[in-house]
Chains A and B, each alone.
Chain A
Amino acid sequence: MAFQSILFKDPRKVEKLIRTPPDFFVDLGLNNVAKELVKGLDEFNIEPLFYTPLDQTDEIVYRQQVFVDIENPRVMRAIRVFSDRFRMVLAYINNDRLYELQRQGLFLKAVNVYCESLRDLAKALESAGIRSEGLQALRDYLGNYLNTSEFNNLRTDAKNTLSKITSVELCLTIKGGSISVSKCDGAVDYSEEVEGVFERFMASGTIGDEEVSKPIYIRGHVEEVVLEFAAKLYPDVFRALRDFYVKHKDFLNETIARFYREIQFYIAYLRYIEPLKKSGLMFCIPRLTSNKGEVNCRDGFDIALASKLVKKNSVVVTNSFHLRGKERIIIVTGPNHGGKTTFAREFAQAHYLAKLGVPVPGSEATLFLCDTIFTHFERGEAVESLRGKLEDELVRIRNILEKSTEKSIIIINEMLGSTTVKDATTIGRRILKRIADKDCICVYVTFVDELALTEGVVSYVSQVDVNEPDKRTYKVIRQPPNGLAYALALAKKHRVSYQDILERVKP
């Protein structure tokens, strides 16, 4: 099949993009991820791609394969270089602030960069051993295109015109408000003479660039005047430039331009996860399953939080999760600020990202191809009375239960905080029963240990280091709930005990 789109195996889908974020985006922290991902990419309008999960496995795999290819640094570099150059080309030909001769000159540059960028991309794709359907199709398409006489004429013309232009030399004298232009006669570089006299000062280090601001290169009407004089001094050269401009006005290939726009999705995502990977975190291409008892992720993490922490050079704690056989519901308990919510987000994010066809946090993952994700998070504002709060919570969970199917994922974060523990246990168990009846996958974060003892659920617990109760580990581990939490606080807080001092002061 001829190459059309790098984003969709069946490009008719491009019309069906969703333009607003899903309801759970804020709860999962994905709004921040999307915002940062598209930073500086307004012109490509790739935001909807992050709001539009794919439902077909073959569409997901089409993207996953491209990501696998791009993991190859040679392919990545080639695509980045291509993208940067193509962006320059577009900027050049769309520049409308220039005067005639300047515009002709910039057009020449645009065509030269364009030809080089295509040739380099083709060469890289040929030799890199790519496997993905999408990139293979692109490679074949490029191969054909570069052999057309249309392309070869364009390239030869551009090279010839360029060598004429760069042979031009001029001598300018600026005095007061007048500038005069002539040909040069082997002028001597005066800067060298000055450097010679001040050589003594140069011995100790060089001058930093910041101490003399870089001259600004202005392509204004004065330069155009100089070019007009140059055209009088070198008439043949400038005639060739004009002819080139007229002849090749419509040189851009539309399929390649579309590839350039679409590949930004991949570049943006990889650019986003790059610092995370550098900090030692792992990403993987998940396998998608329709068997809930196979769900499994090793060394995952909350991608939004990790991105924040890595910027601050803080350590990111990874967590693994899995479901076996009939297991559907995970209850997360443990000390506050111990990473419970983060764990729940990690679980849901992985499933959502998998549906975008992008690599997910973790060293290895099998994820359930869900239809949608529902989140039930505490709402800070709006409700005044405890009763009102409980009402609001239960209405929301009821709506979720009504809309969800056996393929949905439900994330519940600290529900029933406004009731007694006894009531929270009873109500919580009833809700769990309803979820279990639906056969939904659910992650339920709660302070009620008793819920984790409900039959049929899986218990995960956030951890506290007994020796350092103040320090949170953010590790969440599959184990029975432990009531003790962090009662044994205090001591060593300032790290100035005998042992601490010995550790902190290096001998």
Chain B
Amino acid sequence: MMLMYTDHSFDASQNQPWNYGDLVRDLDLKPIIETMAGGDDFIAQVVAKALVIGVDDVDTILYRQGVLEDTLRNIDTVRSVYAIITQAITEGRRRLFWIPNPSPESVVFASVRTLEVYLDTLDKVREVFDASASQFKSAGFQNLIRSLDYRFDRNYLYSIRLMLSSLEFPSGVSVAVRLGDEAELTDFTLINPQRKRGLKGLLAFIERSRYTWDLPERDEAGAQEMGEMRNRGLERVAKVLRKAATDVLSLINALRTELAFYIGCANLWGALSTLGIPLGFPTPREPGVDTLGFSCLHEVSLALRMKAKPVCNDLGTVKKPLLIISGANRGGKTVYLRSIGQAQLMMQCGMFVAAEMFESSISSGVYTHFKREEDNELGGGKLDEELSRLSSIIDHVKPNSMVLFNESFASTNAREGSELAKQTVTALLERKIRVLYVTHFYEFPLWFYENRPSPAVFLVAERKEDGTRTFKVREGVPLETSFAEDVYSKIFGDHT
């Protein structure tokens, strides 16, 4: 209902993107979605889609940011409208139900009921908004309020209610028919059930020859046939009423869906501010320039899981299509990669980010290719699986997409893995696809490093002189060795 797009509503029935499972798993989106839902299943469903189905134009992102700001400012009003609608839908579900392939007659019946219930709801919603209209500054909310006022003004609602009562046909269904070319009854035309006759008309009506037949008891076939005759008379109005009822219902649902998204955002805002994490609205940059920069960016899920404020990272704004992150194992590389992926998704759905500053070019799709820890197959099968996942990504990426690799091709030896990585990344860059690659390979980063001018920014997981990790990632040259030995000695306690 125009809170998420300037010209249409968010389609909550659309499919998750094909890689939804990968995104949730690789970017650890579950805690984010749960926190946004705050126990409301409907919000959970909506944000699970909205979060990953981002928009790819700056204007729409800014439009949503405006609505979100309004929501944060008027959270009580927004929650009460959401409550009115949720209650009406729950109530409506209990009283009305739509059967599949309904007959015109049952459509007329159900539509009349539906319209009676939900037009009342819209009436109430309009009143709540009208009372605090001046508090809403965003274009989104203003559009919504204006459209409710325009489409459902009191006079119009009154004339609809009047017609709805005559569509209950208290004096039977009257139709005009003709005989067709096989002497069948055809061209059923509904006649106004409450047509006023003048005196003359009344006399003609009484004098006219009229034959009447009563359905015998238990004549079920006859009852069905008569029912279908009524259906034929009602077909046209059934379509009109169904359209109206569907429209009103989808309006209600769309409003509920879009409010659910913003309430979800507000829930996350609340949870993160409690942890003292800096929040702010990101700056979306036009696609194509490969801009990326941030200060004190947090991995949101890590914070939510730890219920604390974790280490944050900075990146002075760069304009390169390739980020290679190498360095110490367990040095925070994955967290770093995730935090960028999360922020990119949050930015593109119109949300705030968990950073003091974040700017990035808009991507036409975010894809992840992470090493799967739990794949315990033998080497060959594992590489096969990795390549097949890569192939699915290749099926979908397009210029200006963003692909996050995490230790990809690590299932084979370093030389082969490096070669695969090199070929993959080179081809993706040629197709103007942004790549962020976490790796412990040496050859692969070095190749991009020595190829000047390099398309890449090189980052390393920081390690102090004494060997301890800070879990910070900084710009630096790719390191020669990984830190597997460190991890080993930490876990086993010696170097042998």
Which residues of A approach B to under 8 Å, CB–CB? 92, 101-102, 104-106, 108-109, 112, 162, 165-166, 168-185, 187-191, 193-195, 197-198, 200-202, 204, 206-207, 210-223, 225-227, 229-230, 232-233, 241, 493-502, 504-507
Chain B residues whose CB sits within 8 angstroms of the CB of A178 once the complex forms: 212-215
Q: How far is the CA of A229 from the CA of B232 in the complex (A)?
A: 20
Indicate if the CB atoms of B244 and A220 lie closer than 8 Å: no
Indicate if the CB atoms of A109 and B243 lie closer than 8 Å: no
Chain A residues whose CB sits within 8 angstroms of the CB of B174 once the complex forms: 171-174, 187
Task: Contacts A174-B173, A180-B212, A233-B209 given; indicate if A166 touches B192 (C-beta within 8 A).
Answer: no
Indicate if the CB atoms of B184 and A219 lie closer than 8 Å: yes
Q: How far is the CB of A11 from chain B (nearest CB, A)?
A: 35
Chain B residues whose CB sits within 8 angstroms of the CB of A504 once the complex forms: 394-395
Q: How far is the CB of A106 from chain B (nearest CB, A)?
A: 5
Indicate if the CB atoms of B221 and A198 lie closer than 8 Å: no
12 further A-B contacts with Cβ under 8 Å, apart from A172-B177, A174-B173, A504-B394, are A166-B178, A170-B177, A171-B174, A178-B214, A200-B151, A212-B242, A217-B232, A222-B225, A223-B225, A226-B185, A494-B384, A501-B423
Indicate if the CB atoms of B236 and A505 lie closer than 8 Å: no
Chain B residues whose CB sits within 8 angstroms of the CB of A190 once the complex forms: 190-193, 237
Q: How far is the CA of A308 from the CA of B436 in the complex (A)?
A: 45
Select the stretch in B52-60, B259-267, B328-336, B425-433 that faces chain A.
Answer: B425-433
Indicate if the CB atoms of A220 and B423 lie closer than 8 Å: no
- 7 A-B pairs with C-beta separation under 8 A: A102-B184, A171-B177, A179-B229, A188-B195, A204-B247, A494-B384, A496-B391
Chain B residues whose CB sits within 8 angstroms of the CB of A172 once the complex forms: 174-177, 185, 229
Chain A residues whose CB sits within 8 angstroms of the CB of B432 once the complex forms: 507
Select the stretch in B100-108, B449-457, B482-490 that faces chain A.
Answer: B100-108
Count chain B CB atoms within 10 A of each CB in A179, A214, A507 and give the residue with the most: A179
| B167 contacts A by Cβ under 8 Å | yes
Chain A residues whose CB sits within 8 angstroms of the CB of B181 once the complex forms: 108-109, 112, 162, 165-166
Q: Which 10 pairs between the two chains have the least Cβ-Cβ distance?
A: A105-B183, A175-B172, A215-B231, A501-B427, A177-B215, A109-B182, A191-B236, A498-B423, A213-B101, A220-B225
Task: Contacts A182-B208, A223-B225, A498-B427 given; indicate if A505 touches B394 (C-beta within 8 A).
Answer: yes
Chain A residues whose CB sits within 8 angstroms of the CB of B237 once the complex forms: 190-191, 194-195
Per-residue contact bits, chain B 106-129, to A (CB 8 Å; 1 contact, 0 not): 010000000000000000000000
Q: How far is the CB of A16 from chain B (nearest CB, A)?
A: 41
Indicate if the CB atoms of B221 and A220 lie closer than 8 Å: yes
Indicate if the CB atoms of B246 and A207 lie closer than 8 Å: yes
Contacting residue for B176 out of A171, A175, A193, A227, CB 8 A: A171
| B30 contacts A by Cβ under 8 Å | no
Contacting residue for A173 out of B173, B241, B424, B433, CB 8 A: B173
Indicate if the CB atoms of B192 and A193 lie closer than 8 Å: yes
Q: How far is the CA of A188 from the CA of B398 in the complex (A)?
A: 58
Chain A residues whose CB sits within 8 angstroms of the CB of B163 once the complex forms: 194, 197
Chain A residues whose CB sits within 8 angstroms of the CB of B156 once the complex forms: 200
Contacting residue for A188 out of B192, B225, B428, CB 8 A: B192
Indicate if the CB atoms of A207 and B228 lie closer than 8 Å: no
Indicate if the CB atoms of B399 and A507 lie closer than 8 Å: yes
Q: How far is the CA of A102 from the CA of B167 in the complex (A)?
A: 32
Count chain B CB atoms within 10 A of each CB in A191, A217, A494, A504 and give the residue with the most: A191
Task: Contacts A173-B174, A495-B391, A496-B390 given; indicate if A241 touches B189 (C-beta within 8 A).
Answer: no
Chain A residues whose CB sits within 8 angstroms of the CB of B183 once the complex forms: 101-102, 104-106, 108, 165, 227, 241
Q: How far is the CA of A162 from the CA of B398 in the complex (A)?
A: 64
| B61 contacts A by Cβ under 8 Å | no
Which residues of B approach A to under 8 Å, CB–CB? 101-104, 107, 151, 156, 159-160, 163, 167, 171-185, 189-193, 195, 201, 204, 208-215, 221-226, 228-232, 235-244, 246-248, 384, 387-388, 390-391, 394-395, 397-399, 423-424, 426-428, 430-433
Chain A residues whose CB sits within 8 angstroms of the CB of B232 once the complex forms: 215, 217
Indicate if the CB atoms of B172 and A174 lie closer than 8 Å: yes
Q: How far is the CA of A194 from the CA of B191 in the complex (A)?
A: 11
Q: How far is the CA of A196 from the CA of B38 in the complex (A)?
A: 45
B174 to chain A: closest residue by CB: A173
Q: How far is the CA of A187 from the CA of B423 in the complex (A)?
A: 77
Indicate if the CB atoms of A173 and B394 lie closer than 8 Å: no
Q: How far is the CB of A239 from chain B (nearest CB, A)?
A: 13
Count chain B CB atoms within 10 A of each CB in A174, A197, A223, A232 and give the residue with the most: A174
Indicate if the CB atoms of A181 and B211 lie closer than 8 Å: yes
Chain B residues whose CB sits within 8 angstroms of the CB of A170 once the complex forms: 176-179, 185
Contacting residue for B229 out of A108, A184, A222, CB 8 A: A222
Q: How far is the CB of A466 from chain B (nearest CB, A)?
A: 22
Indicate if the CB atoms of A505 and B193 lie closer than 8 Å: no
Task: Contacts A166-B181, A207-B239 given; indicate if A232 touches B204 (C-beta within 8 A).
Answer: no
Indicate if the CB atoms of B228 and A197 lie closer than 8 Å: no
Q: How far is the CB of B448 from chain A (nearest CB, A)?
A: 14
Contacting residue for B182 out of A108, A176, A191, CB 8 A: A108
Indicate if the CB atoms of A201 and B210 lie closer than 8 Å: no
Contacting residue for B184 out of A188, A217, A505, CB 8 A: A217
Chain A residues whose CB sits within 8 angstroms of the CB of B229 once the complex forms: 172, 174, 179, 222
Chain B residues whose CB sits within 8 angstroms of the CB of A496 once the complex forms: 387, 390-391, 394, 424
A199 to chain B: closest residue by CB: B240
Indicate if the CB atoms of A498 and B426 lie closer than 8 Å: yes
Contacting residue for B433 out of A112, A221, A505, CB 8 A: A505
Indicate if the CB atoms of A505 and B427 lie closer than 8 Å: yes
Chain B residues whose CB sits within 8 angstroms of the CB of A229 once the complex forms: 211, 213
Q: How far is the CA of A220 from the CA of B184 in the complex (A)?
A: 11
Q: How far is the CB of B393 from chain A (nearest CB, A)?
A: 9
Indicate if the CB atoms of A106 and B213 lie closer than 8 Å: no
Chain B residues whose CB sits within 8 angstroms of the CB of A241 once the complex forms: 183
Chain A residues whose CB sits within 8 angstroms of the CB of B221 once the complex forms: 220-221
Indicate if the CB atoms of A179 and B424 lie closer than 8 Å: no
Q: How far is the CB of A108 from chain B (nearest CB, A)?
A: 7
Q: How far is the CA of A168 from the CA of B187 in the complex (A)?
A: 12
A207 to chain B: closest residue by CB: B243
Q: How far is the CA of A215 from the CA of B176 in the complex (A)?
A: 16
Q: How far is the CA of A13 from the CA of B223 in the complex (A)?
A: 54
Chain A residues whose CB sits within 8 angstroms of the CB of B228 once the complex forms: 215-218
Count chain A CB atoms within 10 A of each CB in B183, B387, B391 and give the residue with the most: B183
Indicate if the CB atoms of B240 and A198 lie closer than 8 Å: yes
Contacting residue for B239 out of A108, A181, A212, CB 8 A: A212
Q: How far is the CA of A285 from the CA of B450 in the complex (A)?
A: 67
Q: How far is the CA of A48 from the CA of B104 in the complex (A)?
A: 47
B163 to chain A: closest residue by CB: A197
Task: Contacts A106-B182, A169-B178 given; indicate if A505 touches B397 (C-beta within 8 A).
Answer: yes
Task: Contacts A190-B192, A194-B167, A207-B239 given; indicate if A166 touches B394 (C-beta within 8 A).
Answer: no
Chain A residues whose CB sits within 8 angstroms of the CB of B213 once the complex forms: 178-181, 222, 225, 229
B422 to chain A: closest residue by CB: A498
Chain A residues whose CB sits within 8 angstroms of the CB of B247 once the complex forms: 201, 204
Indicate if the CB atoms of A213 and B102 lie closer than 8 Å: yes
